[in-house]
Amino acid sequence: MLYAVFMSASLPPFPQPQVPSGEAELLQLGSAGDAPCLRADAARNRARLLEAAAELIAEHGVAGVTMEAVAAAAKVGKGTVFRRFGDRTGLLMALLDHSSRKLQADFLGGPPPLGPGAPPVERLRAFGLAVLYRSAEQLELHLASQSEPARRYSAPPHRALRMHVVILLRQIVPNADCEILAQTLLGYLDPSAIHYLTKQCGMPLERLATGWVDLVARVTGTEPPN
Protein backbone atom coordinates (compact mmCIF):
# COMPACT_ATOMS: atom_id res chain seq x y z
CA MET A 1 0.00 0.00 0.00
CA LEU A 2 1.23 3.51 -0.81
CA TYR A 3 -0.12 4.92 2.42
CA ALA A 4 1.08 2.45 5.04
CA VAL A 5 4.27 4.36 5.90
CA PHE A 6 2.65 7.59 7.07
CA MET A 7 2.21 8.50 10.69
CA SER A 8 -0.47 10.39 12.54
CA ALA A 9 -0.30 14.12 12.01
CA SER A 10 -1.28 15.12 15.53
CA LEU A 11 0.90 17.81 17.05
CA PRO A 12 4.15 16.28 18.34
CA PRO A 13 5.22 16.65 21.96
CA PHE A 14 6.90 19.84 23.11
CA PRO A 15 9.66 21.00 23.20
CA GLN A 16 10.62 20.86 19.55
CA PRO A 17 12.85 17.97 18.41
CA GLN A 18 16.35 18.52 17.09
CA VAL A 19 16.73 18.17 13.32
CA PRO A 20 19.69 16.37 11.76
CA SER A 21 22.74 18.20 10.50
CA GLY A 22 23.78 18.54 6.86
CA GLU A 23 20.85 19.28 4.57
CA ALA A 24 19.01 20.76 7.56
CA GLU A 25 21.34 23.74 7.44
CA LEU A 26 19.59 24.78 4.21
CA LEU A 27 16.15 24.31 5.72
CA GLN A 28 16.24 26.17 9.01
CA LEU A 29 12.75 26.77 10.37
CA GLY A 30 12.10 29.98 12.23
CA SER A 31 13.85 33.29 12.51
CA ALA A 32 16.22 35.00 14.87
CA GLY A 33 13.42 35.39 17.40
CA ASP A 34 12.48 31.72 17.52
CA ALA A 35 13.16 29.08 20.13
CA PRO A 36 16.83 28.22 19.30
CA CYS A 37 17.89 31.74 20.29
CA LEU A 38 15.72 32.15 23.36
CA ARG A 39 16.97 31.97 26.92
CA ALA A 40 16.12 28.67 28.59
CA ASP A 41 13.33 30.20 30.70
CA ALA A 42 11.86 32.04 27.68
CA ALA A 43 11.95 28.82 25.62
CA ARG A 44 10.14 26.97 28.41
CA ASN A 45 7.50 29.70 28.57
CA ARG A 46 7.02 29.56 24.80
CA ALA A 47 6.62 25.77 24.93
CA ARG A 48 4.10 26.11 27.76
CA LEU A 49 2.03 28.58 25.72
CA LEU A 50 2.07 26.27 22.71
CA GLU A 51 1.09 23.31 24.89
CA ALA A 52 -1.84 25.31 26.24
CA ALA A 53 -2.92 26.22 22.70
CA ALA A 54 -2.64 22.60 21.55
CA GLU A 55 -4.78 21.46 24.50
CA LEU A 56 -7.43 24.06 23.65
CA ILE A 57 -7.52 22.79 20.07
CA ALA A 58 -7.92 19.21 21.27
CA GLU A 59 -10.80 20.19 23.58
CA HIS A 60 -12.60 22.93 21.64
CA GLY A 61 -11.18 22.99 18.10
CA VAL A 62 -9.26 25.89 16.57
CA ALA A 63 -12.16 28.25 17.26
CA GLY A 64 -11.43 27.85 20.98
CA VAL A 65 -7.93 29.28 20.60
CA THR A 66 -7.87 32.95 21.49
CA MET A 67 -5.02 34.92 22.99
CA GLU A 68 -7.10 35.34 26.15
CA ALA A 69 -7.88 31.63 26.41
CA VAL A 70 -4.25 30.63 25.92
CA ALA A 71 -3.13 33.12 28.55
CA ALA A 72 -5.68 31.78 31.02
CA ALA A 73 -4.78 28.15 30.32
CA ALA A 74 -1.06 28.86 30.70
CA LYS A 75 -1.67 31.08 33.76
CA VAL A 76 0.14 34.09 32.34
CA GLY A 77 -0.91 37.60 31.39
CA LYS A 78 -2.48 38.18 27.99
CA GLY A 79 0.34 40.60 27.16
CA THR A 80 2.83 37.74 27.44
CA VAL A 81 1.06 35.83 24.67
CA PHE A 82 0.94 38.90 22.43
CA ARG A 83 4.63 39.65 23.02
CA ARG A 84 5.63 36.12 22.13
CA PHE A 85 3.44 35.58 19.03
CA GLY A 86 2.22 39.03 17.93
CA ASP A 87 -1.37 38.01 17.17
CA ARG A 88 -3.64 34.96 16.89
CA THR A 89 -2.38 34.14 13.39
CA GLY A 90 1.19 34.23 14.69
CA LEU A 91 0.23 31.80 17.45
CA LEU A 92 -1.44 29.39 15.03
CA MET A 93 1.53 29.60 12.66
CA ALA A 94 3.84 28.81 15.58
CA LEU A 95 1.83 25.63 16.23
CA LEU A 96 2.20 24.63 12.59
CA ASP A 97 5.89 25.50 12.70
CA HIS A 98 6.30 23.09 15.61
CA SER A 99 4.57 20.31 13.66
CA SER A 100 6.63 21.14 10.57
CA ARG A 101 9.84 20.64 12.53
CA LYS A 102 8.81 17.05 13.21
CA LEU A 103 8.03 16.53 9.52
CA GLN A 104 11.34 18.13 8.59
CA ALA A 105 13.21 15.78 10.94
CA ASP A 106 11.43 12.86 9.26
CA PHE A 107 12.37 13.81 5.70
CA LEU A 108 15.92 14.89 6.60
CA GLY A 109 16.90 11.99 8.85
CA GLY A 110 14.05 9.49 9.04
CA PRO A 111 13.81 6.11 7.32
CA PRO A 112 13.37 5.90 3.56
CA PRO A 113 11.50 6.50 1.36
CA LEU A 114 10.64 9.76 3.15
CA GLY A 115 14.13 10.10 4.59
CA PRO A 116 17.56 9.65 2.95
CA GLY A 117 18.48 6.37 1.31
CA ALA A 118 15.83 6.14 -1.41
CA PRO A 119 16.05 7.49 -4.99
CA PRO A 120 15.00 11.15 -5.14
CA VAL A 121 11.80 10.47 -7.11
CA GLU A 122 10.68 7.97 -4.45
CA ARG A 123 11.45 10.54 -1.76
CA LEU A 124 9.45 13.17 -3.63
CA ARG A 125 6.45 10.83 -3.86
CA ALA A 126 6.74 9.98 -0.16
CA PHE A 127 7.15 13.64 0.79
CA GLY A 128 3.92 14.64 -0.95
CA LEU A 129 1.97 11.82 0.66
CA ALA A 130 3.30 12.74 4.12
CA VAL A 131 2.38 16.41 3.65
CA LEU A 132 -1.03 15.49 2.23
CA TYR A 133 -2.04 13.28 5.15
CA ARG A 134 -0.55 15.61 7.76
CA SER A 135 -2.37 18.61 6.26
CA ALA A 136 -5.65 16.68 6.09
CA GLU A 137 -5.47 15.81 9.79
CA GLN A 138 -4.58 19.40 10.75
CA LEU A 139 -6.83 21.01 8.16
CA GLU A 140 -8.73 23.26 10.58
CA LEU A 141 -5.49 24.65 11.99
CA HIS A 142 -4.02 25.22 8.51
CA LEU A 143 -7.09 27.06 7.27
CA ALA A 144 -7.33 29.25 10.38
CA SER A 145 -3.72 30.38 9.97
CA GLN A 146 -4.05 31.31 6.28
CA SER A 147 -5.71 34.70 6.62
CA GLU A 148 -2.70 36.38 4.98
CA PRO A 149 -1.49 34.48 1.88
CA ALA A 150 1.72 36.50 1.51
CA ARG A 151 2.57 35.80 5.12
CA ARG A 152 1.90 32.08 4.58
CA TYR A 153 4.28 31.74 1.63
CA SER A 154 7.09 33.56 3.41
CA ALA A 155 6.65 31.58 6.64
CA PRO A 156 9.61 29.37 7.62
CA PRO A 157 7.68 26.05 7.37
CA HIS A 158 6.65 26.72 3.77
CA ARG A 159 10.16 27.83 2.84
CA ALA A 160 11.58 24.63 4.34
CA LEU A 161 9.18 22.40 2.41
CA ARG A 162 9.83 24.29 -0.84
CA MET A 163 13.60 24.04 -0.44
CA HIS A 164 13.36 20.29 0.16
CA VAL A 165 11.31 19.84 -3.02
CA VAL A 166 13.77 22.04 -4.96
CA ILE A 167 16.69 19.87 -3.78
CA LEU A 168 14.95 16.67 -4.88
CA LEU A 169 13.89 18.13 -8.24
CA ARG A 170 17.43 19.27 -8.98
CA GLN A 171 18.50 15.64 -8.68
CA ILE A 172 15.63 14.33 -10.85
CA VAL A 173 15.21 17.04 -13.52
CA PRO A 174 18.31 19.25 -13.27
CA ASN A 175 17.50 21.19 -16.46
CA ALA A 176 14.10 22.37 -15.19
CA ASP A 177 13.34 25.62 -13.38
CA CYS A 178 13.17 23.71 -10.13
CA GLU A 179 12.15 26.63 -7.92
CA ILE A 180 9.06 27.40 -10.02
CA LEU A 181 8.30 23.70 -10.41
CA ALA A 182 8.56 23.17 -6.65
CA GLN A 183 6.07 25.95 -5.96
CA THR A 184 3.72 24.44 -8.56
CA LEU A 185 3.91 20.99 -6.95
CA LEU A 186 3.32 22.44 -3.49
CA GLY A 187 0.19 24.10 -4.84
CA TYR A 188 -1.28 20.60 -5.18
CA LEU A 189 -0.71 20.13 -1.43
CA ASP A 190 -2.21 23.48 -0.40
CA PRO A 191 -4.57 22.98 2.56
CA SER A 192 -7.26 25.14 0.94
CA ALA A 193 -7.24 22.88 -2.12
CA ILE A 194 -7.32 19.77 0.07
CA HIS A 195 -10.29 21.20 1.95
CA TYR A 196 -12.16 22.02 -1.25
CA LEU A 197 -11.56 18.65 -2.88
CA THR A 198 -12.27 16.51 0.19
CA LYS A 199 -15.00 18.50 1.95
CA GLN A 200 -16.85 20.20 -0.89
CA CYS A 201 -16.20 17.82 -3.79
CA GLY A 202 -16.33 14.69 -1.65
CA MET A 203 -13.11 13.19 -2.99
CA PRO A 204 -11.52 10.55 -0.74
CA LEU A 205 -8.03 11.38 0.49
CA GLU A 206 -6.73 8.23 -1.21
CA ARG A 207 -7.71 9.71 -4.58
CA LEU A 208 -5.63 12.81 -3.86
CA ALA A 209 -2.72 10.60 -2.82
CA THR A 210 -2.94 8.62 -6.05
CA GLY A 211 -3.15 11.91 -7.94
CA TRP A 212 0.05 13.14 -6.29
CA VAL A 213 1.94 10.01 -7.32
CA ASP A 214 0.66 10.40 -10.89
CA LEU A 215 1.58 14.12 -10.92
CA VAL A 216 5.14 13.40 -9.78
CA ALA A 217 5.53 10.79 -12.53
CA ARG A 218 4.27 13.19 -15.21
CA VAL A 219 6.34 16.16 -14.02
CA THR A 220 9.56 14.18 -13.67
CA GLY A 221 9.11 11.89 -16.67
CA THR A 222 9.43 8.78 -14.50
CA GLU A 223 7.34 5.65 -14.20
CA PRO A 224 4.83 5.54 -11.33
CA PRO A 225 5.15 2.60 -8.92
CA ASN A 226 3.05 -0.49 -9.50
User: What's the CATH code of the domain at 208?
Assistant: 1.10.357
108 found inside a domain: yes
The residue type at 173: V
Highest mean pLDDT among 6-20, 37-51, 165-179: 165-179
Q: Are residues 105 and 151 in the same domain?
A: yes
CA distances from 6 to 77, 106, 108, 128, 168 (A): 39, 10, 15, 11, 19
38 contacts: CB under 8 Å, gap ≥ 6: 46
Same domain, 135 and 215: yes
Packing angle, helices 178-188 and 205-220, rounded to 10 = 160
DSSP H or E run through 124: helix 120-137
Residues 37-60 have a mean pLDDT of 82
Q: Is the pLDDT assigned to residue 121 strictly greater than 90?
A: yes
- The boundaries of the domain holding residue 120 are 87-220
138 and 57 share a domain? no
Interior/surface letters 112-143, b for 16+ CB within 10 angstroms, e for the rest: ebbbeeeebbbbbbbbbbbbbbbbbbbbebbb
CA distances from 117 to 121, 174, 176 (A): 12, 19, 23
Q: Which of 36-40, 52-56, 219-223 is most confident?
A: 219-223
What is the distance, to the nearest Å, from the Cα of residue 88 to the centroid of all Cα atoms in its chain? 18
Average pLDDT over residues 145-174: 85
How far, in Å, CA of 189 to CA of 83, rounded? 32
Together in a domain, 120 and 167: yes
- One domain, residues 109 and 164: yes
Residue 33 scores a pLDDT above 50: no
Residue 226 lies in a domain: no
| Structural contact between residues 110 and 118, judged by C-beta atoms closer than 8 angstroms | no
CB 96 within 8 A of CB 157: yes
Lowest-confidence segment of 32-36, 103-107, 146-150 by average pLDDT: 32-36
Q: Would you say residue 157 has pLDDT above 70?
A: yes
Rounded Cα–Cα distance for residues 21 and 131 (Å): 22
Q: Say whether pLDDT at 25 is over 50.
A: no
Q: Which of these, 161, 191, 155, 159, lies nearest to 34 by C-alpha position?
A: 155
- Is the pTM of the predicted complex or chain greater than 0.75? no
pLDDT at 204: 97
pLDDT band at 141 (very low <50, low <70, confident <90, very high): confident
Domain count, the chain: 2
Residue 77, helix vs strand vs coil = coil
Final residue of a structural domain among 28, 61, 86: 86
Collect all residues with Cβ–Cβ distance below 8 Å to 219 and sequence separation of at least 6: 173, 181, 185
Spatial distance between the Cα atoms of 187 and 27, rounded to a whole number of angstroms: 19
* Confidence label for 4 from pLDDT (cuts 50, 70 and 90): very low
